[in-house]
Structure 1
Amino acid sequence: MTIVADEDILGGEPRVEGTRIGVRHIAGKVVSGGQTPAYVADQYDISLASVYEALSYYYANLEEMKGFERENAEAFERVHDDGLQPKEPVS
């Protein structure tokens, strides 16, 4: 397996080739979620080597990954804020 990026899949975020599983998804489960790499591999039905490759990519490109995290958080906030605004005043 290898890590690839394609603008048409996951908005261009790096992912495990042949899947829609993003590097950030894997890193989030292992780094932030405290799950073992073996458990994540089993849950996503990918090889353990792919999990370690994704983690290696994550740490080798930490600034890029943090940028994707910021963009994702900002997009979520925009959608959340827009969704809470009434279209017309409530009487």
Structure 2
Amino acid sequence: MVSSDPTLERHFKGHRDSVTSVDFSYSMKQIATGSMDSCVMIWNMKPQMRAYRFDGHKDAVNSVQFSPSGHLVVSASRDKTVRLWVPSM
């Protein structure tokens, strides 16, 4: 049996350059993304809720990941820094 084509659940738009990393929170309520634009963004899965932009890195963000509890997001950048962020719930 052939399954049907996938459908787009939601489109997240806000980075100014290529997205390099994505991670889901453990609760599946938020997504963290890192980008070549040096920013980390936290997206809420409910469409009516806003996204949050975290500026601070001086170069591309290579990796983002939620902590197991979901109370922190860590990002690693080509600027040779690792930063911890507190995502807004």
TM-score (norm 2): 0.23
TM-score (norm 1): 0.22
Which structure has the larger Rg over C-alpha atoms?
1
The answer to which structure has the higher helix fraction is 1
